[in-house]
Structure 1
Amino acid sequence: MSKKEEYTNWMQSKLDELSAEIDKLKAKANQSEAEAQIKYLEEVEALRAKKESMQAKLKEVQTASEGAWEDLKTGLDKSWDDLKAGIQSATSRFKN
């Protein structure tokens, strides 16, 4: 298995894990009071949009040539860090 395949498989599994976390956040948001629920659901949808954007970037990496995929990987890694931080932040706020 090439480094690109290893990376894309790893990233896909991480995106699947974060997708499950987003689903948990949505369930918590749905259990919130009406005013908080709207705010939480907006945040969940923003996270979901970031995740979908990352999924598209991952497809680009998967279809990129062996020489070009590493350049795309840098942007995907940054997006990963941003999404992960957003989910961690939302999780901490939803507990309150």
Structure 2
Amino acid sequence: MSNREEYVQKMKAKLDELNAEVSRLEAKAKGAEADLRVKYDDEIKQLKERREEAKVKLAEFQQAGDSAWQDLKIGLQGAWDILDEAIKSASARFK
């Protein structure tokens, strides 16, 4: 398996982890008081938007030619870092 394929698999695994975390947060939000639920739902919406951005970057990365994938890797990693920080932040607020 090439470095590129390994990286794609790693990012897909991270997206799977993210999906599980979003589902966990959604379940927690459902059990929250009404005023908090609105706040949590807004945060979850933002996380889902960032997740979609990461999916788009991953798709671009997968379709990139051999010469461009290293450059796209930087963009994908940046998108993932932002998403990862948002998840950590939201998880901390949901505790």
- Structure 2 length normalisation: TM-score? 0.96
1:51 corresponds to 2:47? no
1:13-92 correspondence runs (5 A): 13-92=13-92
Distance 2:70 2:35 in 1: 44
Q: Which amino acid aligns with 1:51?
A: R
Aligned counterparts of 2:37 and 2:17: Cα–Cα separation in 1 = 23
Using CA pairs below 8 Å that are at least 6 residues apart, which structure has the higher relative contact order? 1
How far does the alpha carbon of each residue in 1:4-60 deviate from its partner, in whole angstroms, 9 at most, with x for none? 111011100111101110110111111110011001011001101100110111010
**Equivalent residue letter for 2:36:** A
Where do 5+ consecutive residues of structure 2 fail to align?
A: none
Number of aligned residues: 95
Q: Counterpart amino acid of 1:91?
A: S
RMSD over aligned Cα atoms: 0.7
After superposition, the C-alpha distances for 1:48-85 in whole angstroms (9 at most, x for unaligned) are 11001101110100010111011011011011111111
Q: Give the partner amino acid of 2:20.
A: A
The amino acid across from 2:19 in the alignment is: S
Identity %: 47
